[in-house]
Amino acid sequence: MERTKTTDVIRSMEYKHVSLGESLFKDQRDYTIELYLSLKNGDILHNVLRRAGLTDEYDGLPGWGGNLGQFLGAFAKLWSVTGDPRLKDKALALANTWADLSEIHPELLRGGTYGYDKMIGGLLDMYEYMGYTRAESLVSRLTDRSIQDLDRTIDRDGLQDERMHGQIEWYTLPENIYRAYQLFGDEKYKEHAEAWHYDYMWNKILNHDFKIGPRHAYSHVNCLSSAARAYEVTGDKKYLDVMEIAYEELTARHCYATGGYGPGENLFVDRDDYLGFMLESPWDLRGDDPTFINFAGNRVARSDAWGSCEISCCAWAVFKLCNYLLRHTGKAKYAMWAEQFLYNCVGGQPPIKPNGELLYYAQYFADGGMKSTVDRRLQAMGHNFVWQCCSGTFPQDVAEYANMLYYYDDESIYVAQYIPSALSFMFRGQKITLQNFSDFPKQSRAAFELRLKKTASFPIRFRVPQWADGKNTVTVNGRPVEADIVPDEWLVLDREWNDGDVIAVDYEFRLYFKPVDQYRPNLAALMYGPIVLVSTEMTLLEGDINDPASWILPVKGEEMTFRTLPGHTGALPNICRTFVPYYSYPEDKWYFMYHRIYGPGELVPYRKY
C-alpha cells in the first residue's frame, strides 16, 4: 500500500495521460523503443549471470553490466506512457527469468551498492507503473542481502577512492530504499535508507559551504533525489532546503550554456574557474597549472576524451531533481534546468547504435567538439564504453519526456514545458484535453487547443521561461489577453473555458551571449531563446558581446540560422561565421560552441600582421 506523499504541492502525471506530438523528441523516443525491444533477452541478462558466476549461450552486451534494473524501469515507464504491449511483455519476461534464477542461485541477489540501487529501482518502477506485484518480494530479498553485504563503516565524504571499498555512488541509495518504504511500509526500508544519508554533503549545502571537494558529477546531483525522498518520508524541511540551495548553486556556477555540468565527470573541483579552465586549449593557459584533483582524489590533466558533460546520466539526475522540486514547491523556476537539458542535451543526442555505441559525452571545448558515438577510452580489462551506464539512463530520459510537461493540483493545470504533446485526463469532474499543436522550439509561439464537454472555470498556468525577458504575448482565440508575464513564474489564465478555445503564448526569442563563468567573461556561447547555437567553423569574434543582434543577423529562408556581418571575425575582415542550433547538428562534424569574443577595435593592432 503506497504511503501518501503529503509533501506534494502540485502533482505530476506519473507517466500517464500524456502523448507526444510529431517532433524530434517523439522520433527519438520511438527509435529508442524499437532498438531496445530488438535486444535479445539472453544478451541483456548475460552480464548479470556472468557476475554471479553463471554461464549461458549468449554473448551478452559488451559493456560493464549493471543496467538490467535500468532497462526494466525504462520498459515499465515507456509502457505506461505509450501502452505498447511489447514493452510490458519484455519487462515481465526479463524480470521473471531473473527472479526464477535467483530462487535457485541466490548469489544473483548480490550487486553491491550500484547494482542493488539500479535493480530495486527498476523493480519498483514495474510495481508502480506496471502492477508487477512480484516486485515486493524481490525488493525485500535484495534489500535483506544488501543489509547483510554492504559495509556501512566506510568513510562518508563521497570521495571515490579506495576508502569506498568499491561501494560507488552509495549516497544515491536512499532514494529507492525510501521509495520501497513508501510503497510497502516495511520499517526495514526506512532504517536502511537512513543508514545511507549523505550528511557530509547535505550539511555543507545547508551551511552554504560549497568547498565540498572534487566529487563525481552525475551521482552527486543524483544524490539530491535521495534528499527528496527523505523529505517525503520524514517531512523534515531541511531536506527540501538542501535541494533548493543546491539547485541555485549548481545552476548559477556549475553549468554550461546547455545546462550540462561536470567536465571530466567532476563537480566541485578545487579551483573556482574550473568550468572555463576545462574548455581551454593548453596554449590558453599561459603557464597556469594544467592539472587538477579529480573525483577519485588523483591529480590529472584535462583530457578531451572525458568530455564536458556525461549527457544521458546527467540529464536523468536533472530531470528527477526538477520533478521533485516542482512537485514539492510548485515554483515554476525549477523547470528551467530540465528545459536546458531537454533542448540542448538529450534532444541533441544522435541515435544509439545497434552495437551499443552512444554519445557518452558532449564536448564544449573552445577548440571544437564533435558529436560522436565512438568513445576513445578503453577499460583495463578491454571493455569499450558501449552498453554502459548511459545506455541505462537514456531510455529513461526519453520516457521522462512525457512526464515533465504537465502538472496539476485540485484547482489548476500547469504547463511546464512546451514540446508538441497532448494532455488528456479527468479533471474537476470531466475529461479535459489540452493539445500543444505548435512546433516549439522551432517557433517561439506555443499554441494549445482545449477540449471539454461543458464550459468550466479554472486556472491554466503556463511557465514563463527564465530567458523570456523580451516582448511576450498571450492570446485566447486570437485576441490579446492582459496577464503578468514574469520570467521564472507562472503565467496564470483564470477564466471560463469553452470547448475549442485556443491559447497561444509567444515568448520572444532573442540572441544573447552566455559567458562560461565570471573568470572568462569573453569566452561565451551564443543563445537564441532556449537554444544553444554553434558555429560551423572555428571562431574569433569581434563585436559588442551585449548586443549580438547588431552584428549577427538571421539568414533569410534558413531556420534558426544566423551569420555575422563582415568585419566581425578577427583579423579576417572579409570572413563571416554561420551559427545553427546545436540540437540539430549532425554527427561526426566539427562544431564550435564557446567563442573568444573581443570588443570592437580590440583586435586592430593584430591586423597589420
pLDDT at 172 over 50: yes
How far apart (Å, rounded) are the C-alpha atoms in residues 416 and 407? 7
Q: Grid coordinates standing for 545?
A: 558581446
> Is 6 a member of any domain?
no
571 and 592 together in one domain: yes
CATH of the domain at 225: 1.50.10.10
User: Which residue among 461, 490, 507 closes a domain?
Assistant: 507
pLDDT at 2 over 50: no
pLDDT at 207 over 50: yes
User: Which residue among 507, 524, 557 closes a domain?
Assistant: 507
Section 221-249 average pLDDT: 98
Confidence (pLDDT) at 5: 57
pLDDT band at 266 (very low <50, low <70, confident <90, very high): very high
Q: Of 28-37, 46-55, 136-145, 293-302, which gets the smallest average pLDDT?
A: 46-55
How far apart (Å, rounded) are the C-alpha atoms in residues 321 and 325? 6
pLDDT band at 608 (very low <50, low <70, confident <90, very high): very low
Q: Interior CA angle at 225 toward 82 and 230, to 5°?
A: 120
CATH of the domain at 440: 2.60.40.1180
How far apart (Å, rounded) are the C-alpha atoms in residues 594 and 436? 33
pLDDT band at 430 (very low <50, low <70, confident <90, very high): very high
> Is 462 a member of any domain?
yes
How far apart (Å, rounded) are the C-alpha atoms in residues 30 and 148? 41
> Is 3 a member of any domain?
no
Section 92-108 average pLDDT: 96
* Cα-based distances in Å from 221 to 164, 226, 339: 19, 10, 16
User: Which residue among 404, 436, 451 closes a domain?
Assistant: 404
Residues 6+ apart with CB under 8 A from 454: 430
Q: Of 363-377, 380-394, 462-476, which gets the smallest average pLDDT?
A: 380-394
79 and 184 together in one domain: yes
332 and 307 together in one domain: yes
317 and 447 together in one domain: no
Confidence (pLDDT) at 65: 67
Structural contact between residues 510 and 529, judged by C-beta atoms closer than 8 angstroms = yes
Supply the range of the domain harboring residue 17: 11-404
323 and 430 together in one domain: no
> How many other C-beta atoms lie within 10 A of the C-beta of residue 242?
24
> Is 5 a member of any domain?
no
Structural contact between residues 420 and 22, judged by C-beta atoms closer than 8 angstroms = yes
- Give, for 361, the enclosing helix (H) or strand (E): strand 361-362
Confidence (pLDDT) at 609: 38
323 and 427 together in one domain: no
> Is 1 a member of any domain?
no
Quick check: helix, strand or coil at residue 341? helix
Locus of grid cell 531533481: 321
265 and 374 together in one domain: yes
* Cα-based distances in Å from 506 to 418, 444, 473, 476: 11, 6, 5, 12
Structural contact between residues 423 and 406, judged by C-beta atoms closer than 8 angstroms = yes
67 and 44 together in one domain: yes
Section 180-192 average pLDDT: 98
Residues 6+ apart with CB under 8 A from 30: none
pLDDT at 1 over 70: no
Longest Cα separation, the chain: 79
212 and 347 together in one domain: yes
549 and 474 together in one domain: no
Per residue in 138-170, pLDDT (tens digit) is 999 999 999 999 999 999 999 999 999 999 999
pLDDT at 4 over 60: no
Confidence (pLDDT) at 253: 97
Side by side, the strands of the sheet bearing 421-427 are 18-20, 421-427, 430-436, 445-451, 502-507, 472-476, 479-480
Section 574-578 average pLDDT: 92
Complete DSSP assignment for 491-507: EEEEEEE-TT-EEEEEE
Confidence (pLDDT) at 605: 54
The number of domains in the chain is 3
> Is 424 a member of any domain?
yes
Confidence (pLDDT) at 447: 98
429 and 336 together in one domain: no
> Is 4 a member of any domain?
no
Q: Which residues pair with 435 in a beta bridge?
A: 422, 449
> Is 292 a member of any domain?
yes
452 and 393 together in one domain: no
